[in-house]
Amino acid sequence: MNTKRMIAIDTHTHSIASGHAYSSLEEMARAAFDKGLGGFVLTDHSPGMPGGAHLYHFYNLRVLPRTIHGVSVFLGAEANIINYDGEIDLEDDVLNCLELVIASFHIPTCSIGSAEEHTSALLGAMQNHHVKVIGHPDDDRYPFDVQAVVRAAGETKTLLEMNNTSLSPRGFRVGSRGNYIKLLNECRKQGVMITLGSDAHYSSRVGECDYSEALLKELNFPEELIANNSLERFLDVTGIRL
Ligand SMILES: [Zn+2]
Ligand SMILES: [Zn+2]
């Protein structure tokens, strides 16, 4: 156990509250501890996703202790981008209860449009100051202007996610590897930060970033542009207080 990993905090995880994930928060925390993580962000799906968590799930996250079974648990959500203006399906009163919000395209909640429309949606989502991460910007079905999105991420201090589940051979998003190579090269060029997320939907997957790590090594991607490879940097970049 406690093997050396590239990440200290997993910024994308789902519990049973997401409706199509299979572990309790306790099980996730124990798995994270066993793997030597410092913590993880609980980012259950917002209500727009079929079977997603109820709004009360997000309002009530404040009842959780910060530390569960020896790891820090941060309060988050994976919200759905619902239109090409980049609006998401959580309102400010809920967002104010959360520490880290991911905004993502999902097939059930945002129709597939043109690259211009997806770019507009991503730029709009990044203008929402609650949105700290763009989730899995890697899917051929939602192409976008990479240069413009990376520039806006830098300007708005939004992290672009590298999603391990997308890169897994069992992943269901299309063309991720090639899309990540383009995205990472642009991030390096513009000095824009990324975050690594497992997108775990089962406890043993929490903290898994092996496919992402392999690609980052292959590209010799600079470690200083990875926001979650230490607790200190994660807190500094996100502004979250322990
Ligand atoms: Zn999911
Ligand atoms: Zn997602």
pLDDT digits over 104-146, tens only?
999 999 999 999 999 999 999 999 999 999 999 999 999 999 9
Ligand nearest to the CA of 50: 1
State in Å: Cα 135 to ligand 2 middle.
6
Q: Check if the beta carbon of residue 135 is closer than 8 Å to that of residue 161.
A: yes
Residue 1 lies in a domain: no
Q: What domain range includes position 50?
A: 9-237
Q: Round to whole Å and give the CA distance between 37 and 6.
A: 10
Domain assignment of residue 176, yes or no: yes
CATH code where residue 191 lies: 3.20.20.140
- Ligand nearest the Cα atom of residue 200: 1
Q: Is 76 among the domain residues? A: yes
Burial of 114 (0-12, 13-18, 19+ CB in 10 A): exposed
Span 50-91, pLDDT tens digits: 999 999 999 999 999 999 999 999 999 999 999 999 999 999
Task: Tell me how many domains the chain contains.
Answer: 1
State the Cα–Cα distance between residues 148 and 160, nearest whole angstrom.
13
Q: Which ligand is nearest to the CA of 173?
A: 2
Q: Report pLDDT for 169.
A: 92
Position 150 in a domain? yes
Ligand with the closest atom to the CA of 133: 2
Question: Domain for residue 63, yes or no?
Answer: yes
Q: Which two tokens stand for residue 110?
A: 């945002």
Tell me how far the alpha carbon of residue 14 lies from the centroid of ligand 2, in angstroms. Answer: 10
Domain contains 3: no
